[in-house]
Amino acid sequence: MKVSQILGKKAPRTKQKIMTWRKSCAPIIAKVLTDTKGLSEKEIKKALFDAYPYGQRSLHPYKIWLDEIKVQRGLKKQRGLKKQKGLYPDPNQSELFT
């Protein structure tokens, strides 16, 4: 039996947000990079390695994770990606008022 038959009306449609690997890992990487600002390269890499949330380090999720690290650190440009304002702060800019 369908929900509409039980309620006597159509169920409201909800927009489902599509979560991508990039969207789910971007805030994690951003937090690690802000927390490790000023530390050595080795310590930053260790923190990023420890923060990996998807289990096995292989296949598509891990490739996206590594690519997102490069994008957020300013080592790679965002060619081919939808550039969303405010999603990626420029890593080469510092805060004016802190």
Number of structural domains found in the chain: 1
Which range marks the domain in which residue 65 is found? 35-77
Q: Is residue 94 part of a domain?
A: no
What does the pLDDT profile of the chain (98 residues) look like in tens digits? 444 454 555 555 666 677 789 989 999 999 999 999 999 999 999 999 999 999 898 899 999 999 999 999 988 876 655 555 555 666 666 766 65
Q: What is the pLDDT of residue 86?
A: 56
Rg of the Cα atoms in the chain:
19
In a domain, 3, yes or no: no
Asked if the structure places residue 50 within a domain, the reply is yes
- Cα torsion 73, 78, 81, 86 to 10°: value is 60
Domain annotation covers residue 28: no
23 located within any domain: no
Region label for 18, one of left (φ > 0), alpha (ψ between -120 and 50) or beta (otherwise): beta
* 43 within domain boundaries: yes
Write 10-15 long-range contacts (CB < 8 A, 24+). Answer: none
Residue 51 inside a domain? The answer is yes
Residue 60 lies in a domain: yes
